[in-house]
Amino acid sequence: MGAVVLIWSTFALSIRAAGNTSLTAGDVALLRFGVPTLLLIPVIPQSFRIMIRQPWYWTVLIIIGGGFPFLMLVQLGGAATSAALVGTIPPGTIPVFITIFGAILGAHFTAVRWFGIACIAAGVVVAMQGSGSAHLAGVGLLLTAGALWSLYVLAVSKTRYRPLDIVVLLAVPSFGMTGVFISTDLLHTTFFTGNSDLSDVLTYAVLQGVVIGIISTLLYSFSITSLGPSRAALMGSVSPVLTTLGAIPLLGETLAMGTVVCLVLVSSGALIANLWGTAVPLTHTRSRLGARLRVKNAVV
């Protein structure tokens, strides 16, 4: 997870910096998903055989939550906001959505957990204050990306995929989606027009395709399996701090007071929610209810 945190910061910075390169959002998506697809061709058949034995709905959530839809939301949100918010809102709001999804599924959390969630929500509200419509839309897109990523984390923890299978699941279908969007002119690319700079292509092929697309996914999938989704989210809350500090010298961004307050609230809220806000054990009545639901689902 320590390595993943560093890579996440690189991801946020590179997404924000993409607007200053010769690459379009379509180019970044092609590199992000195309490079892993090409490199992992030998293992694709085995991964898809394993996929057939897994519940289809968790597989769909993995593809949507960590693949092409997530990347598009982050790119669009980052273009309208800043690297600091790209690195803060999606990873920082994971505890919020995981808690909400858990509550919907019947889990009960302590008051401390909900206090941490309130801090994160307050941080997002602060980030939206005094902003134009484009900035507000960008924050909304980043929030949606955080919700999708939470579903991805939850789905990975519910399946028995190997980390390498997760890489394949994120790369291959998303590469196909990217091709469809480009062929229908919903996304534009400079690869086929000769307008992309070779140094930009090589840089993003390594950063997005190899480091983020393969290495980060492998490490994060292993971390979720080994640590559990909550502890993985806890360690991931360090990412916003590194991203914000890196955006100052690398991208020349200046930190507004609202961004600083958002960073503090989201990071501290994520720490509180995950470190001290554990789920309350099931009561006897709720345990019997859960058993009945499991039996009912098994019969269906």
Distance CA 290, CA 288 (A): 5
Separation in Å, CA 300 to CA 60, 80, 106, 296: 21, 46, 20, 6
35 pLDDT tier (thresholds 50, 70, 90)? very high
Which residues lie across from 45 on neighbouring strands?
A: none
Lowest-confidence pick of 47-56, 76-85, 139-148, 182-191: 76-85
Distance CA 116, CA 273 (A): 4
Q: How many Cβ atoms from other residues are within 10 Å of residue 257's Cβ?
A: 9
pLDDT above 70 covers what percent of the chain?
Answer: 84
pLDDT at 137 over 70: yes
Tokens of 174: 């998303």
- 3-class secondary structure, 214: helix
Distance CA 15, CA 127 (A): 19
185 pLDDT tier (thresholds 50, 70, 90)? confident
Q: What is the dihedral of CA 140, 210, 247, 16, to 10 degrees?
A: -40
Give the model's pLDDT for residue 221: 84
Give the model's pLDDT for residue 256: 73
- 3-class secondary structure, 109: strand
**pLDDT digits 0-9 by tens, 274-297:** 666 655 444 433 443 344 444 444
Task: List, in order, residues 6 or more apart from 119 with CB less than 8 Å away.
Answer: 265, 266, 268, 269, 272, 273
pLDDT above 90 covers what percent of the chain?
Answer: 21
pLDDT at 225 over 50: yes
pLDDT at 247 over 80: no
Give the model's pLDDT for residue 64: 93
Whether 234 and 44 have beta carbons less than 8 Å apart is answered as no
pLDDT at 166 over 80: yes
Lowest-confidence pick of 30-34, 157-161, 216-220, 274-278: 274-278
Mean pLDDT of 255-275: 77
Better-scored residue on pLDDT, 136 or 286: 136
pLDDT at 36 over 90: yes
Mean pLDDT of 181-206: 86
**pTM tops 0.85, yes or no:** no
Task: List, in order, residues 6 or more apart from 47 with CB less than 8 Å away.
Answer: 162, 164, 165, 168, 169
Distance CA 61, CA 64 (A): 5
Whether 240 and 263 have beta carbons less than 8 Å apart is answered as yes
| Sign of the dihedral through C-alpha 242, 247, 250, 252 | negative
Whether 14 and 207 have beta carbons less than 8 Å apart is answered as yes
Give the model's pLDDT for residue 144: 92
Whether 74 and 142 have beta carbons less than 8 Å apart is answered as yes
